[in-house]
Amino acid sequence: MASSKVRVLAINASPRKYGNTFKLLKVAAEAAEREGGEVELIQLYDYDIKPCIGCLSDIQVACRYPCVLEDDGRELIEKVHRSDALIIATPIYWYGPSGHLKNLIDRITCLENMIFIDGRSWAEGKAAGFIAVGADSGNISAIAHLMVVLNSMGFIIPPWALAYYIGSEDALNRHESISDAANVGALVVRVAKLVKGISEWYNPKLIDELGGDEFIKSIRDEVEKIKVAEFRKREGLITKLMRESR
Amino acid sequence: MASSKVRVLAINASPRKYGNTFKLLKVAAEAAEREGGEVELIQLYDYDIKPCIGCLSDIQVACRYPCVLEDDGRELIEKVHRSDALIIATPIYWYGPSGHLKNLIDRITCLENMIFIDGRSWAEGKAAGFIAVGADSGNISAIAHLMVVLNSMGFIIPPWALAYYIGSEDALNRHESISDAANVGALVVRVAKLVKGISEWYNPKLIDELGGDEFIKSIRDEVEKIKVAEFRKREGLITKLMRESR
Amino acid sequence: MASSKVRVLAINASPRKYGNTFKLLKVAAEAAEREGGEVELIQLYDYDIKPCIGCLSDIQVACRYPCVLEDDGRELIEKVHRSDALIIATPIYWYGPSGHLKNLIDRITCLENMIFIDGRSWAEGKAAGFIAVGADSGNISAIAHLMVVLNSMGFIIPPWALAYYIGSEDALNRHESISDAANVGALVVRVAKLVKGISEWYNPKLIDELGGDEFIKSIRDEVEKIKVAEFRKREGLITKLMRESR
Amino acid sequence: MASSKVRVLAINASPRKYGNTFKLLKVAAEAAEREGGEVELIQLYDYDIKPCIGCLSDIQVACRYPCVLEDDGRELIEKVHRSDALIIATPIYWYGPSGHLKNLIDRITCLENMIFIDGRSWAEGKAAGFIAVGADSGNISAIAHLMVVLNSMGFIIPPWALAYYIGSEDALNRHESISDAANVGALVVRVAKLVKGISEWYNPKLIDELGGDEFIKSIRDEVEKIKVAEFRKREGLITKLMRESR
């Protein structure tokens, strides 16, 4: 297991297959390879991705791998499933990812929703890094969105998992951007290696293991003690508030 | 002009044409009609919307109305163009709008980008309200995103322009949600009426009208005076900082 | 009433009273005055603002104007209360407003929470515009946050209500930034004038006026019809989903 | 080294020291201890934290550990500095962290800004998890903000690093919330253990190690080839665009 390679899926979510988004992704991909990753780089606009139809809102367990929609999205979801790490590079379209990428994100739900079928998210424990490129603004909005979404699916986010370039020049001339992008590539591989072999993260029985109802009760008791003490301290204030709030 | 109706485009961005997103949108649409709006309600999933191909990154003025992509998106963009107000209702997919809606937003760029061709955004001065519905979380993330995007295109945002429902029950049973949704509908019409007939908002010559270079110089002078005074006050601190930062 | 002036509160939320944040705010303030606004510009760091203590979580109606905390925050809240429009200029600290500004925002809750005491938010119908300045990134994150928050309190957001500068030069040299800032100032005044005299926006009785339960029932019936038709269309899919989800 | 304990700083950023925010934090803290962490839980409102004065905007290297402001914030920054992991629990104040917490975040800049003095961020490689609690909405907005900020300082974000409770009941009764909170506690410790001993993450020389200018040139050449091929494919479109854009 230790010798097994880390598989990295690098996604260019820009329609421009030669633009700044792609350039920074390419830098990240090279750095990932040098770190020992086995990188597959895809041009997202080569794939036809239909929008998610929200099956799970009708039947929770209907959303499962493989997705019911039969299009190129399926192949992409399988690529995500097989990977140990993702590097997602998006153009900044109105302060967010391109709609095309959002459609893929929505569709990946079928991996995460395996929680309800298999007991755990099939995205759990993968590493993810992010690159955002645009002419003006919104890089952090776009990346914050992607980061919290993937973390909510179970991805681990390495330190410094973000790189960006804002402007209309050649991003390859901007040292900070290429250095950050290279580090995104290297760090997702380093972290993916560190966690490779760990098959379980979220422990659904953790509350039971901590003592279940007894555990919760002990916390409730402790909180109650603090509450009494605090209320006493805040007594003057509370009385004042109550008087005024009549 | 005063008697002309306010045209409202109400968009259901959920694939479920009968779900909670649609229900709250319907409430908003009825309230908009009662307020005097002429409402067209569309099911976004009835339209095939290709993802934006980012022409403007190659040639700024290439992105213009009508969009170069020949699909149902064109018809939708025309509907947006003809409307005085939008009510956008989205399911919350991973804390944001559905990818399908994001694709429409990305494509509407061709209205906003008329700035570079016509001198002004063709989205300017329209009113917009927002509805977000989901089983769990992310309503504010989704709405904040849509709000800042549309405002950046020139839309005006009425007071209380947001409504949402989080949960798996029938949203029509939740009084706060339906009341908020109805108000979104009524308020976009009220505000659209107020601003109807105003054809210009952003004034590209405002700096010149304020005095141009002279104006900027006067501000610079005033700032300089404050800076001197402030630096004196912060002298001890600044000296300390400089000493420590050697 | 028509002749009464529009009062604008312009807030510099940067500790640097002479920096780029202040400069753009000053541009906006001058433009606001020229548009007929009566502008008061304050340096937020001249005020001591204690953090909100969350009274409403203990007793909903305890959070009310004036705020229970006796510090400079009270004076600021009063200034907000008396104003018709706000222009908030913030330095971008970690992709958001400065903590000092956030403390003020949190404290303004006592105006919004008058909903529960007075039946309506005391922030309702005021106009708001936003300026964000920083060395690197996060302008949209910061502004989106402020925009959705103030709209949730009842503020109206004029078209183009945002301006920003990212960089380390003199913002007064960047034409786009100063032009945007001036327009923020002018547009909050224009919109504040348009809505001046309107004392009620949110209509808590709107659902009743639309027909109450009858109204909701009619929507429910309509949705039910669509649902039946849609389910029939999706029958193959639904059957497949149900089969697979066993 | 393997036997050394993982130090966890658990921060309750709510003024209510007995409320739902604290309860979920307490659950996380207990789970962290069981996982082997040495937890210190602090009540943030016991500390006086002055707002950041933005020294680095005047002099980049002036912002350094220890922070120039002499208040309780210093002690807190030191606690963060000494910790291997953070669990931040915040009440949701207007869709974001409390202003009090934001002030601490702003002040922690002096650890991250050591990049410019020491060559690396003193926050690098620490683990972080997040808990957000509120009566209504904005949990994801608040957490997404904290997550992208801490990652930008160099923190690693474990899988499932978020927990929340929305509502007005006792959060201890909501199984999903306490289970998620316990997992946040356990997972920050697991990840902090995994990375303990790794002293360097961001590699500022990575571009050089990848080949420097030669490396960038090879990427530029490769991109150029793709560009030529793509432009040929898009020739009809590009011609059309150029014709229309005259």
CA neighbours closer than 13 Å in the CB half-sphere of residue A53: 20
DSSP readout, B3-64? TSPEEEEEEE--S-TTSHHHHHHHHHHHHHHHTTEEEEEEEGGGS--PPP--HHHH-GGG--
B242/chain D closest Cα distance in angstroms: 7
The pLDDT of residue A235 is above 90: no
B166 pLDDT more than 80: yes
Size of interface A-C (CB pairs under 8 A): 55
Percent of chain A predicted with pLDDT > 90: 88
Averaged confidence pLDDT in chain C: 94
Q: How far apart are CA B16 and CA A57, in angstroms?
A: 8
Q: What is the ipTM of this complex?
A: 0.96
How confident is the model over D231-238, as a mean pLDDT? 71
Query: For chain B, what is the mean pLDDT?
Result: 94
Backbone angles phi, psi at A39, to 5 degrees: -100, 130
| The pLDDT value given to residue C1 | 40
If we measure between CA atoms, which residue out of C53, C154, C144 comes closest to residue C107?
C53
Q: Is the peptide bond before C97 cis (omega within 30 degrees of 0)?
A: no
Determine the Cα–Cα distance for residues A199 and A245; give it in Å rounded to an integer: 54
**Chain B residues with CB-CB distance to A135 below 8 A:** 57
Taking the CA of residue B231 and the nearest CA in chain C, the distance in Å comes to 10
Band the pLDDT of C218: cuts 50, 70, 90.
Answer: very high
CA distance A31 to A42: 16
Quick check: helix, strand or coil at residue C62?
A: helix
Would the CB atoms of C103 and D14 count as touching at under 8 Å?
A: no
Closest residue on chain A to C55 (Cα): A241
Give the per-residue pLDDT at A2: 45
B87 CA: distance to closest CA in chain C (Å) = 16
**Chain B positions in Cβ-Cβ contact with residue D141 (cut-off 8 Å):** 140-141, 144
- D230 pLDDT band, cuts 50/70/90, is confident
For residue D82, what are the CA distances in angstroms to A150, B19, D34, D186? Answer: 29, 51, 20, 19
The order of strands in the sheet holding B127-134 is B37-43, B6-12, B85-91, B127-134, B162-166
Distance separating the N- and C-terminal Cα atoms of chain C: 68
Helices (H), chain B: 20-34, 55-58, 72-82, 99-112, 115-118, 139-153, 175-195, 206-209, 213-233, 235-244
| Contact of D181 with D148, CB cutoff 8 Å | no
D interface mutation test: which of C57, C101, C104 has the most D CBs within 10 A?
C57
**Structural tokens at position A45:** 């606009």
* DSSP conformation class of A200: -
Confidence band, pLDDT 50/70/90 cuts, at residue B244: low
Put simply, the answer to whether B102 touches A104 (Cβ < 8 Å) is: no
Q: Is it the case that residue D214 has pLDDT exceeding 60?
A: yes
Residues of B with CB under 8 A from a CB of D: 55, 58-59, 61-62, 64, 68, 95, 137-141, 144, 164, 166, 237-238, 240-242, 244-245
Q: Which pLDDT score is estimated for D244?
A: 64
| Kind plus residue range of the DSSP H or E element containing D191 | helix D175-195
B202·C183 Cβ contact <8 A: yes
Cβ within 8 Å, pair C14-D93:
no
* The two three-digit tokens of residue B229, written as one number: 């005074």
Query: CB pairs below 8 Å between A and B: how many?
Result: 113
Best interface-test mutation with B: which of A58, A102, A111, A116 has the largest number of B CBs within 10 A? A102
Q: Which of B117, B140, B232 to mutate to test the interface with D (most CBs of D within 10 A)?
A: B140
Which chains have 3 or more CB–CB distances shorter than 8 Å to chain D?
A, B, C
CB distance D206–A216 less than 8 Å? no
Q: Residue D143: pLDDT above 90? A: yes
Chain-chain contact of C102 with D102 (C-beta, under 8 angstroms):
yes
Residue B1 has pLDDT above 60, yes or no: no
Asked whether the beta carbons of A86 and A126 are under 8 A apart, the reply is: yes
Cα distance from N-terminal residue to C-terminal residue, chain D: 68
Which residues in chain C are closer than 8 Å to D148, comparing Cβ atoms? 95
User: C-alpha angle B21/B24/B25, rounded to 5°?
Assistant: 80
Picking from C137, C242, C245, the nearest residue to A140 by CB comes out as C137
Calculate helix-pair angle for A175-195, D175-195, nearest 10 degrees: 100
Q: In this complex, which of C162, C194, C206 lies closest to B179 when CB atoms are compared?
A: C206
Give the per-residue pLDDT at A244: 64
- Exposed e or buried b for every residue in B144-168, given b needs 16+ CB within 10 A? bbbbbbbbbbbbbbbbbbbbbbbee
Q: How would you classify residue A14: left for phi > 0, otherwise alpha for psi between -120 and 50, otherwise beta? A: beta
Q: From residue D136, how far is each of B21, B22, B166 by CA, in Å?
A: 18, 22, 10
In angstroms, the Cα distances linking D95 to B19, B140, C81, C142, C221 are 26, 7, 22, 12, 35
CA atoms within 13 A on the CB side of A96: 31
Residue of A nearest to C237 (CA): A68
| Residues from chain B contacting residue D241 (CB–CB below 8 Å) | 55, 58-59, 62, 68
* Per-residue pLDDT tens over the stretch A43-84: 999 999 999 999 999 888 989 999 999 999 999 999 999 999
Work out the average pLDDT over D176-199: 97
Smallest CA–CA distance, residue D74 to chain A, in Å, is 24
- What is the spatial distance between Cα D37 and Cα D54, in angstroms, rounded to a whole number? 34
DSSP bridge pairs for A91: A133
The strand pairing partners of D96, in sequence order, are D93
CA–CA dist C39, C185 (Å, integer): 10
User: Chains contacting A with at least 3 CB pairs below 8 Å?
Assistant: B, C, D
Q: Give me the mean pLDDT over the B105-124 stretch.
A: 97
Distance CA D130, CA B58 (A): 41
In angstroms, the separation between the Cα of residue A51 and the nearest Cα of chain D is 23
Is the pLDDT assigned to residue B170 strictly greater than 50? yes
Which amino acid, residue B159? P
Q: How confident is the model at residue B233 (pLDDT cuts 50, 70, 90)?
A: confident
Q: What is the mean pLDDT of chain D?
A: 94
Q: Per-residue pLDDT for B13 more than 90?
A: yes
Q: Which of A62, A110, A96, A77 is nearest to A11 (CA)?
A: A77
A125 interaction partners in chain D (CB closer than 8 Å): 159
pLDDT value at position C242? 63
Q: D140 CB contacts (<8 Å, ≥6 apart)?
A: A148, B95, B137, B138, B140, B141, D164
**Residue among B32, B26, B4 nearest B185 (CA):** B32
Contact between C172 and B220 using a beta-carbon 8 Å cutoff: yes
Closest by Cβ to D61, choosing from B59, B62, B245: B245
Q: Which of C182-191, D59-68, D168-177 has the lowest mean pLDDT?
A: D59-68
Residue A96 and residue B102: Cβ atoms within 8 Å? yes
CB contact under 8 A, A17 and D202: no
Chain A positions touching B145 (Cβ under 8 A) are 95-96, 141, 145
Cis amide prior to A97 (ω within 30 degrees): no
Quickly tell me which residue has 């493989």 as its tokens.
A66
Contacts of B among chains (3+ CB pairs under 8 A): A, C, D
CA dihedral over C50, A225, A203, A196, signed as positive or negative: positive
Asked if C17 and C35 count as a contact pair (C-beta separation under 8 A), the reply is no
Residues from chain D that touch A190, judged by Cβ atoms under 8 A, are: 201
For residue D64, list chain B residues with Cβ-Cβ distance below 8 A. Answer: 244-245
The separation between CA C232 and the C-alpha centre of its own chain, rounded to angstroms, equals 44
| CA-closest candidate to residue D127, choices D194, D77, D35 | D194
pLDDT at A202: 98
Quick one: pLDDT band at residue C4, thresholds 50, 70, 90?
confident
Residues D36-51 have a mean pLDDT of 98
What pLDDT was estimated at residue B231?
77
Interface of chain C against chain D, CB under 8 Å?
14-16, 19, 45, 49, 51-54, 57-58, 91, 93-106, 109, 135, 141, 145, 148-149, 152
Nearest CA in chain D to A28: D207
- Per cent of chain A over pLDDT 70 is 94
The average pLDDT across B22-48 equals 98
Nearest CA distance, D64 vs chain B (angstrom)? 8
Of D58, D141, D241, the CB nearest to B68: D241
Q: Which one-letter DSSP state was computed for residue C145?
A: H
What pLDDT sits at residue B76? 98
Res. A198: pLDDT tops 50: yes
In Å, how far is D42's CA from the nearest CA of chain A? 13
| D62 contacts D56 by C-beta, under 8 angstroms | yes
Cis peptide, bond prior to residue C66, ω within 30 of zero? yes
- E strands within C44-176? 85-91, 127-134, 162-166
Nearest Cα residue to C84 out of C138, C4, C13: C4
pLDDT for the residue C232: 78
Given a cut of 80, whether residue A236 has pLDDT beyond it is no
Rounded mean pLDDT, C58-80: 94
Angle at A12 between CA A9 and CA A17, to 5 degrees: 135
- Give the model's pLDDT for residue C132: 98
- C157 and B147: CB-CB below 8 Å? yes
Note the maximum CA span of chain B.
Answer: 70
Over range D140-167, report the average pLDDT: 98
CB A85 within 8 A of CB A127: yes
Q: For residue C23, give the nearest of C244, C123, C243, C173 by alpha carbon.
A: C173
- pLDDT reading at D218 higher than 70: yes
Beta strands in A22-94 (DSSP E): 37-43, 85-91
**Confidence (pTM):** 0.97
Find the CB nearest B99 among A51, A135, A141.
A51
C129: closest CA of chain D, how far (Å): 17
Q: Who among B95, B96, B98 is closest to A51 (CB)?
A: B98
What are the DSSP E strand ranges found in chain C?
A: 6-12, 37-43, 85-91, 127-134, 162-166
β-strands C127-134, C37-43: how paired? unpaired
Interface test with C, best of B18, B45, B213 (most C CBs within 10 A): B18
Mean pLDDT of A220-242: 81
Q: How large is the angle between the packed helices B213-233 and C20-34, nearest 10 degrees?
A: 130
Residues in A closer than 8 angstroms to C138, CB to CB, are 140
Asked whether the predicted pLDDT for residue A1 surpasses 50, the reply is no
D22: Cα separation from own chain's centroid: 20
